[in-house]
Structure 1
Amino acid sequence: MFAEFFTPEQIAILTQIILIDLVLAGDNAIIIGMVASKFPPEQRKKVIFWGIGGAVILRIILTLLTAYLLQITGLRLIGGLLLLYIVYKLYVDVIKGSETEEDIKVDSSSFLKAIWTVLLADFTMSLDNVLGVAGAAGEHYGLLVFGLVLSIVLMATAATLISGWIKKYRWIAWLGLLAILIVAVELIYTDIKILFF
C-alpha cells in the first residue's frame, strides 16, 4: 500500500529528508533550551514559546525562498558549495564532538535580547536545514512541505532526544552527513552540467 503512494525515487528522497532533519533540526531547539535556561521558570516558557514561534516563521519563509532560488541556474552551485561547508562544519561539531555551547553568549538581563539571540542563532541554523531539505526534495513540493513540517516538529518536541541519539549512536550522524553530501554533489553537478555542457 505504501508503494502505491511513493515511487522508489520519492522514497529515497524522503529518506534523505528525514536523515537531514534528524541531524540538523535538533540544534535549533538545543539553542532555545540553552537560552531559556538562563531565565526564571515563569519567563522560561515565554522564551521557548517565542523562540520556537519565531523559528517556525523563519523556517517557512526560508523554505519558500530557497525552493524558488534553487530553480535559478548558478544558485544551485552556490547552494551545493554552501552545503559542502555545512558537511565539514557538522563533521567537526557533531562527529568530532567539539563543544558549540561555549560560542553562544546569553544575556539574561533582557527578555527581548534573549529572543533576539534565539532568532539570530535559528536563522543561521535554519539555513542549513532548509538548503539540505530543499536540495533533496528538488521539484517534489509535497516532500518539501513534509520536510518543513518534520523539521518544525522535531525542533519543537524531540531535540534533546535526537541530540542524545546522535551522541550515543554515531552512525546516525554519519548517515545524516552522507545524505547532505549527496544533496550537495547533486546540486553542484546539476548546475555544472547546465553551465558547461
Structure 2
Amino acid sequence: MMSVAAHSAPAGFGSPADIWGHILNDFSNITEPAAFAAFLQVLMIDLVLAGDNAIVVGALAAGLPAEQRKKVILIGVLAALVLRILFALIVTQLLQIVGLIMVGGLLLLWVAWKMWRELRHAGQSAGSEEVHGDENSGLRPAKSFAGAAWAVAIADVSMSLDNVLAVAGAARDHPGILIVGLIFAVALMGLAANIIAKYIERYRWIAYVGLIVIVYVAGKMVYDGWVDPQVGLGTLIA
C-alpha cells in the first residue's frame, strides 16, 4: 500500500525540518513491507553503483603517474558527490510531472542493459593501484591528466544520474528513505567505494543481484508511469 505522504510530498525535499520529518515518518514504519523493500532496494543499488563508479574512475586514471592518478581519483569522487546531490534535487522534482516517471523507467532500463553488457563483456585493462578491482573494466586509461579528468567528469555525470534515478524510482513513495539513500550513496563514494569495488569484482553475483533490482525498479516505474492516478500517462488518455 502506497504511503499517503509520498503523493502529498512536495516537489523537492523541503526545509531541514521537512527532511527530518520525512526520515522519521518512513523509518518509524520501516517494518511495513513496502517501506522495508524500498530500503533494501536503495541499499543494493547504492552498493553496486558506488562500486561501479570507483572501478570506472580507477581504470581511467590508471595510465597516469601516481601523483596525478590520486588527484584524478579524488576529483572523480568529489564530482560524484556533488552531482548526486544536484541530480537528486532535480529528479525528485521532475518525477512529479505527468509522464516523466515512465520516461525515467525507460531510461533506467537502458542503464540496466548497458550494465548487463559491461558485466558480460568485461575485459582486462590497466588497473590503478589505488582502486582494487578495476583491472577487469575493459576501459582504456587516459594518457594525460586533462584527458583523464575530462573522461572521469563525463563518466561521473552518467553514473551519478543512473544512481539517483534508480534510488528515486525505488523510494519514490518514501521520501525519507530516498533522502537516507542519497546520504548513504555519498558516504559510500567518499569512504568505501574502493572496498565495494574489490568485492564486486571478486563476487560477480553481487553485481547481478544489483542489476535485477534495477530492472525491477525500472519496470515498476514504467508501470506506475502509466497507471498512477496523479502522474501516469494513462490519466491523460482517460
TM bin (shorter chain): 0.7 to 0.9
Shift of 1:115: 2.0
Residue in 1 that maps onto 2:30: 6
In the alignment, which residue of structure 2 is the partner of 1:128?
Answer: 162
For 2:181, the equivalent position in structure 1 comes to 147
**CA distance in 1 between partners of 2:204 and 2:59 (Å):** 23
Alignment correspondent of 1:187: 221
CA deviation profile, 1:38-74 (whole Å, cap 9, x unmatched): 3333333322222211121111111111111111111
2:98 to 73, 78, 98: 73
Query: Percent identity between the aligned chains?
Result: 44
Q: Which has the higher helix share?
A: 1
Equivalent residues in 2 for 1:87-126, closer than 5 Å: 87-94=112-119, 96-99=120-123, 101-108=137-144, 111-126=145-160
RMSD: 2.2
Deviation at 1:13, TM superposition (A): 0.6
Q: Which aligned segments of 4 or more residues in structure 1 are displaced greater than 6 angstroms?
A: none
Gaps of 5+ in 1: none
- Please state whether the residue corresponding to 1:158 is helix, strand or coil: helix
CA gap of 1:81–1:58, structure 2 versus 1, over 3 A, is: same
Q: How far apart are residue 102 of structure 1 and its match? A: 4.0
Structure 1 pair 10–195 and aligned structure 2 pair: CA distance change class (3 A): same
Deviation for aligned residue 1:141: 2.1
Tell me the alpha carbon deviations over residues 103-158 of structure 1, each in whole angstroms, 9 at most, x when there is no partner: 445132xx343322211111111111111001011042221122112222222333
Higher RCO, Cα 8 Å, sep 6+ = 1
CA 169–71 in structure 1, closer or farther in 2 if over 3 Å, else same: same
User: How many pairs were matched up?
Assistant: 192
Task: For 1:83, give the aligned amino acid.
Answer: L
TM-score norm. by structure 1 comes to 0.85
Unpaired stretches in structure 2, ≥5 consecutive residues: 1-26, 124-135
Please give the alpha-carbon distance, in whole angstroms, between the structure 2 residues aligned to 1:183 and 1:174: 14
Amino acid in the other structure paired with 2:80 = A
Per the TM alignment, residue 4 of structure 1 is displaced from its structure 2 partner at its CA by 4.7
| Cα 1:66/1:54, change in 2 over 3 Å | same
Residue by residue over 1:143-192, the C-alpha shift from the partner in whole angstroms, topping out at 9 and shown as x without a partner, is 11221122222223333332332333343223212211121111111121
- Structure 2 Cα separation of the partners of residues 32 and 87 of structure 1: 19
Higher Cα Rg: structure 1 or 2? Answer: 2
- For normalisation by structure 2, the TM-score amounts to 0.72
